[in-house]
A and B are shown apart, each in its own frame.
Chain A
Amino acid sequence: MPQFYGTHVESPLMLGTAQYPSPAIMAEAFRASGAGIATVSLRREGGQGQDFHALIKGLGVPVLPNTAGCHSVREAVTTAQMARELFDTPWIKLEVIRDDDTLCPDVIALVEAAKILADDGFQVFPYCTEDLSVCGRLLDAGCEVLMPWGAPIGSGRGLNNPYGLRSLRAHFPDVPLVVDAGIGLPSHAAQAMELGFDAVLLNTAVAKAGDPVAMARAMALAIEAGQLAHAANPIEARDMAAPSTPLFGMAVLG
């Protein structure tokens, strides 16, 4: 099971808490999936959502607050400080957005904000692109986990750049890596785990499914399958067929 900043987490599935039909269905999705971490947005809900925050705390899993919707270093840092007080945790999923249409991380501001927060004692989970240099800079800034996107948030497109994610894994073999955002189907989540990622963070794919509880369970099963497959050392893809049954002993006709 994954470990972030020295804390063991019960499941490699990190599940968001937005957009469910109701808090009751959200809680049911968490139970059905056994998700190991609950992420919660502060920026959008404001600091006053005590009722909702109490429901999140009631899920009984570690909470990872995020800075979703922040557009500047300053905004992200302030939101992170607010989150630390509200949820009494040094964890922060750092999100700094530049473009509202793609919700693409502003990697320059991200590195700057990560440094400020890490220096202030935060344990930063940066939502980033799969760019190797950016990821290197984030580690230099003090991050001990990386969370590259699979595809833009909420797009459900799966892993847009498996090559990039694979090379990230190869470059940083000891850093916990999480695919964050873009997952639409269980097969996408399984693929991330097959690449050797430590965890998958998703929200929309479950919350907006017709049956969020069933989809949460499907995601958990896929993640487990992908994780087992990676540990089982899968075969390489090859161009030529390789018979699984020996030819020796087959009848010779004619």
Chain B
Amino acid sequence: MTQITILGAGVMGLAIATELAARGLRPRLIDPAGKPGSHACSWRAGGMLAPYCEAESAEPVVVRLGLDAIGWWQANGAEVTHRGTLVLAPSRDKAELDRFARMTETHQAVSGAEISTLEPELDGRFQRGLFFGTEAHLNPRKALVTLRDRLAEQGIEIEAEGAPTGMVVDARGLSARDELTDLRGVRGEMLVLRCPEVNLTRTVRLLHPRIPLYVVPRGDGVYMIGATMLETGGKYRVTARSAVEMLSAAYALHPGFAEAEILELGSDARPAFPDNLPRLRRRGNTLFANGLYRHGYLLAPAVARMAAEYITTGEKPEFMDEDHP
């Protein structure tokens, strides 16, 4: 049997290991940081499985590749919440809502009354919105741990050290920039709030010309709030400006967030190629799988499948490009 070593146990590495295991292979998985944790940018993701909403700023292929994500995560043990996505804008930013509606599909326009039926806590706060009923979300940290546990049950443990053997699948995310010169980091910032006063049951996106925001419920009154996207590779702490903007946008969504406890402020750099699309790239005995950009949980299943198909059948996948070191 082919010996395969996967480098990196973030969402990309774990998903590829899962797909290879499903094909009867027993890859090794090496990550110097060991178990899934805050070293991986997938630790700070929103976990939205929202392919249709992504079309607002992503190419159609992202929607297509992302369609299977909900099923994949469910099949692999993740707890997926099927409540759809609610997209809202204050009255004065209705042009943003119109643009969002134009750029996306499968949504249903909802009135103020319908919004309050969906999310009673938002009663009277918004007059118009869009509802994407088939979308879902998951808790990224739990999902990574679930993949790790299921691999461990099959005897595939994350090794913290050791030299790779056989074919190498490099899924190190931005760390692979030492080999992939066209990979860049796109910074994202997030915060985690505990706010039992606010009870939202689904992902809510609040549109704004400068500070769009999304809120993903994590259960037990905990919310992940994400927003900013900066073309900066460095890993820094959240800036005061971003924190102020995110918090005031959250407050605009629901004043109850003013009473929230701030559990976490985090930022990270996500790996992206110049077209912001994922890629497999073969160089010698190494297969690189990278460039998930801000679509980690949405696209990891599709990219992992392509990688596994390529490894087991040699079939050249859609997102494979010629090497250019």
CB nearest neighbor in B for A17: B231
Contact A48 B234 (CB under 8 A): yes
Contact with A along B273-290 (1 / 0, CB 8 A): 011110000000000000
The size bracket of the interface on A is 10 to 19
Q: Does B99 contact A (CB under 8 A)?
A: yes
Total interface residues in chain B, CB < 8 Å = 21
A67 to chain B, nearest CB (A): 15
Whether B231 and A45, one on each chain, are in contact in the complex, defined by CB atoms closer than 8 angstroms, is: yes
B232 touches A45 (CB 8 A): yes
Whether a CB of chain B sits under 8 angstroms from the CB of A25 is yes
Q: Which of B233-256 contact A (CB under 8 A)?
A: 233-234, 236
Contact in complex: B103, A49 (CB < 8 Å): no
**B233 and A51 contacting across the interface, CB-CB below 8 Å:** yes
Instruction: Please tell me if B230 contacts chain A, counting CB pairs below 8 Å.
Output: yes
* Cα distance, A208 to B209, chains bound together (Å): 11
Q: Is the CB of A24 within 8 A of B276?
A: yes
User: Is A82's CB within 8 Å of the partner chain B?
Assistant: no
A30-67 interface bits toward B, Cβ cutoff 8 Å, 1 = contact, 0 = none: 00000000000000111011111001000000000000
Q: Once the chains bind, are A27 and B231 in contact (CB under 8 Å)?
A: no
Known: A48-B234, A49-B230. Contact between A210 and B275, CB under 8 A? no
Assuming the A-B contacts A27-B274, A154-B209, are A21 and B233 also in contact, with contact meaning beta carbons closer than 8 angstroms in the complex?
Answer: no
Q: Are B275 and A50 in contact (CB under 8 A)?
A: no
Q: Closest CB of chain B to A239's CB: distance in Å? A: 36
Distance in Å: Cβ of B31 to nearest Cβ of chain A = 24
B209 lies within 8 A of A49 (CB): no
| Contact call B209/A22, Cβ cutoff below 8 A | no
CB distance from B161 to the nearest CB of A (A): 30
Q: Is the CB of B233 within 8 A of A48?
A: yes
> Measured between C-beta atoms, what is the minimum distance from A192 to chain B in Å?
22
10 A-B pairs within 8 Å (CB atoms) are namely: A21-B57, A22-B272, A23-B275, A44-B230, A45-B230, A49-B230, A49-B232, A52-B231, A52-B233, A208-B99
Residues of A that sit less than 8 Å from B by CB: 21-25, 27, 44-46, 48-52, 55, 100, 154, 208, 210
